[in-house]
Chains A and B, each alone.
Chain A
């Protein structure tokens, strides 16, 4: 009995303190917001503002909702610096913009967006979309609207790389609904010291010659394997990285005009190619984004990584080199590689609920067409912008010295041709993410020996896509 009393008392005390703590915190927040907002968090500030506006909304009807530009995104890595710079340069007050950050991985954002959008009262002006699933919203006329509706016509985007526009277009009627400020063109980055030691390569030009197409790539991988002897140095870090590039060389869309899955020679070729890389050790068995992935850079067992414009900093390459002052930091070089490709990128699309068209237009233009804005952002964030004119000016000006991990090489200059040559016209379908996921899984299984032949692997691929997209595609 004594014990029970103690326990109950403890529980009660806990409950009371929790409630007190909670109520207390709440009070503190409301009082601080009623006076001055000392928190740096713009979200809490804006929330209080919107509360205050609620009363006025009643009188003004729906118009009052338009006072704030609401941005949906899955993390604030881009949106926060964008808003900061935008406000700094244009004189808008940060309180005019609200960032709705869903704090999740890009792939999970759609579900949370849908949840948020399912409530008709929730305000939204601009939606951030990842290339892989942008079409889900871009093809949906109840979610996004044409950029022309907020006053930006396709003709205004003359300087933007064509592939960036291509991904932002609806595949049902071709209207341009989304645009990216980034061009995520990629290249092959390799370690100078290892290339010299095993391949006798002195300059990036020589290296490019060694990996100029997939045949050369395979031959070089073999040469490297022989030359490195027991070290068994792999040419590229992961199969996933190779796939990012190889995916760009597909000539047709994954789904044909008859709405059927296209399984062609390209698929089998890649399966064979991947199996060769995998089983000969031309790539390591580490998965992309696994903990062991980036440390491969300094391991001495890997010559290079495929990296996109956003990956030269801490996200991939700088980390792989051991960070600033790391073992191989500054000893990397970048070349175009076997194939032009893009990897990732974020698109901006105006929502149909956009009731702040002026500001939305200004915001989107600032990072794309507005040369001053795009230049400022590129210089501040070190990002490769989608505006080719801006990028060429930056490269020509010569002030930008390239990512420090490359030790003086300007990767922008290397990649500027890549972005221009990427051709995505007619190759995008709303099911690409699902199809590619099943394809790489089947290919991986083939490489590992789960399936005895390429044909078996392709049957598996087809079956898994059929399971995932039974009514979305046509099946025999």
Chain B
């Protein structure tokens, strides 16, 4: 009996070690390119040119950041990290909140209520998901131009309400782990439908919301194409972060590689910080929040 237990424990230990090795290798592969990005952001341009790749940070981190942040003062390059952060945060947070809230609402509507249009509506949402984005985005921009919404943030924020892939995810999630009886229980308690959604539906979907919020945040933060097509008049104070980065990267006279890497690094830094913070609260919180029968 004891032997059996020991051998079982040994097996588990062996497996744990094997798993750890695989995880460490994967982690190294994942982190290495990003590490190189950060290292290059801390090196002098000449150093990068002469010595290529390095794994040891150089001493120009602060100097590079200082130079990058103040690039706009030279007058030729539209780059102001603070304006970029401000605009990008504003657009991204609004769009993310709209996406997760309305997607949860739509998915909840589809799952909880048994109504005639629910089947067709779901099919339409799935169809929408299958439309290639490359070409519709142009039509979208043209249409925004027709209704005079270019140069505003509205086309960058409001369409976030209709995010078919997120609705699909939320619906699948609810299908797999949402007890419908709880809604009925709430009705018996006399809670209004919308209130039920807010107080019971949303909290139950928390893991899914957390995951999709992170995805939506990153997708919106990194979106370069739509803002650059919508903000036609190029007011520097409307620039988003990726547009600022682009203005550095596309400038062939600014060949300082250190500054180029710093620009990219500065653009992903806030997302990384937020992700690391939120991943603790949301993804880790799933275990306790998700207990249900």
Does the CB pair A294–B49 fall under 8 Å? Answer: yes
Does the CB pair B145–A119 fall under 8 Å? Answer: yes
Does the CB pair B233–A122 fall under 8 Å? Answer: yes
Residues of A within 8 A of B289 (CB): 1, 3-4
Q: Which of B84-92, B121-129, B176-184 contacts A (4 or more CB under 8 A)?
A: B84-92
Does the CB pair B236–A43 fall under 8 Å? Answer: yes
Residues of A within 8 A of B281 (CB): 3, 6-7, 10
The answer to whether the Cβ of A319 comes within 8 Å of any Cβ in the partner chain is yes
Residues of A within 8 A of B46 (CB): 322-323
Given the known A-B contacts A11-B97, A294-B49, A315-B252, are A22 and B87 also in contact in the complex, defined by CB atoms under 8 Å?
Answer: yes
Does the CB pair A44–B73 fall under 8 Å? Answer: no
- With A and B bound together, what is the CA distance between A15 and B101 in angstroms? 14
The answer to whether the Cβ of A76 comes within 8 Å of any Cβ in the partner chain is yes
Does the CB pair A4–B250 fall under 8 Å? Answer: no
Residues of B within 8 A of A81 (CB): 76
Does the CB pair A103–B234 fall under 8 Å? Answer: yes
Given the known A-B contacts A119-B145, A322-B46, A323-B46, are A80 and B285 also in contact in the complex, defined by CB atoms under 8 Å?
Answer: no
The answer to whether the Cβ of A29 comes within 8 Å of any Cβ in the partner chain is yes
Given the known A-B contacts A10-B281, A15-B94, A295-B50, are A44 and B87 also in contact in the complex, defined by CB atoms under 8 Å?
Answer: no
Does the CB pair B97–A15 fall under 8 Å? Answer: yes
Does the CB pair B76–A76 fall under 8 Å? Answer: yes
Does the CB pair A314–B253 fall under 8 Å? Answer: yes
The answer to whether the Cβ of B60 comes within 8 Å of any Cβ in the partner chain is no
| Interface size band for B | 35 or more
Query: When the two chains form the complex, which single residue of B93, B141, B235, B257 contacts A15, counting CB atoms closer than 8 Å?
Result: B93
Does the CB pair A43–B235 fall under 8 Å? Answer: yes
Given the known A-B contacts A21-B89, A41-B72, A101-B78, are A7 and B233 also in contact in the complex, defined by CB atoms under 8 Å?
Answer: no
Residues in A260-315 with C-beta less than 8 Å from chain B: 289, 291, 294-295, 298, 314-315
- With A and B bound together, what is the CA distance between A295 and B51 in angstroms? 10
Residues of B within 8 A of A322 (CB): 46
The answer to whether the Cβ of A163 comes within 8 Å of any Cβ in the partner chain is no
- With A and B bound together, what is the CA distance between A3 and B50 in angstroms? 50
Q: Closest B-chain residue to A46, C-beta based?
A: B235
- With A and B bound together, what is the CA distance between A156 and B93 in angstroms? 57
Does the CB pair A315–B90 fall under 8 Å? Answer: no
- With A and B bound together, what is the CA distance between A18 and B153 in angstroms? 14
The answer to whether the Cβ of B132 comes within 8 Å of any Cβ in the partner chain is no
Q: Would you call the interface of chain B mostly helix, strand, loop, or mixed?
A: helix
Residues in A314-364 with C-beta less than 8 Å from chain B: 314-315, 319, 322-323
The answer to whether the Cβ of A38 comes within 8 Å of any Cβ in the partner chain is no
Q: Closest B-chain residue to A117, C-beta based?
A: B232
Does the CB pair A122–B250 fall under 8 Å? Answer: no
The answer to whether the Cβ of B223 comes within 8 Å of any Cβ in the partner chain is no
The answer to whether the Cβ of A19 comes within 8 Å of any Cβ in the partner chain is yes
- With A and B bound together, what is the CA distance between A116 and B243 in angstroms? 16
Contact with B along A153-187 (1 / 0, CB 8 A): 00000000000000000000000000000000000
Question: What's the minimum C-beta distance from A238 to chain B, rounded to whole angstroms?
Answer: 16
The answer to whether the Cβ of B162 comes within 8 Å of any Cβ in the partner chain is no
The answer to whether the Cβ of A55 comes within 8 Å of any Cβ in the partner chain is no
Question: What's the minimum C-beta distance from B231 to chain A, rounded to whole angstroms?
Answer: 10
- With A and B bound together, what is the CA distance between A14 and B145 in angstroms? 31
Q: Closest A-chain residue to B252, C-beta based?
A: A315
- With A and B bound together, what is the CA distance between A242 and B87 in angstroms? 44
Given the known A-B contacts A3-B285, A41-B75, A315-B253, are A47 and B145 also in contact in the complex, defined by CB atoms under 8 Å?
Answer: no
The answer to whether the Cβ of A60 comes within 8 Å of any Cβ in the partner chain is no
Residues of A within 8 A of B97 (CB): 11, 15
The answer to whether the Cβ of B83 comes within 8 Å of any Cβ in the partner chain is yes
The answer to whether the Cβ of A142 comes within 8 Å of any Cβ in the partner chain is no
Residues in B265-291 with C-beta less than 8 Å from chain A: 278, 281-282, 285, 288-289
Does the CB pair B253–A7 fall under 8 Å? Answer: no
Does the CB pair B206–A7 fall under 8 Å? Answer: yes
Q: Please, could you name 5 A-B residue pairs with CB atoms under 8 Å apart, sorted by A?
A: A3-B281, A25-B83, A44-B236, A77-B252, A291-B257
The list of the 7 closest CB pairs from A to B, nearest first, reads: A103-B247, A3-B285, A22-B90, A76-B76, A18-B89, A105-B250, A18-B93
Known: A3-B281, A319-B49. 5 other contacts (CB 8 A): A7-B282, A119-B145, A294-B49, A294-B255, A319-B255
Q: Which residues of A contact B (CB under 8 A)?
A: 1, 3-4, 6-7, 10-11, 14-15, 18-19, 21-22, 25, 29, 40-41, 43-44, 47, 74-77, 80-81, 100-105, 108, 112, 115-116, 118-119, 122, 289, 291, 294-295, 298, 314-315, 319, 322-323
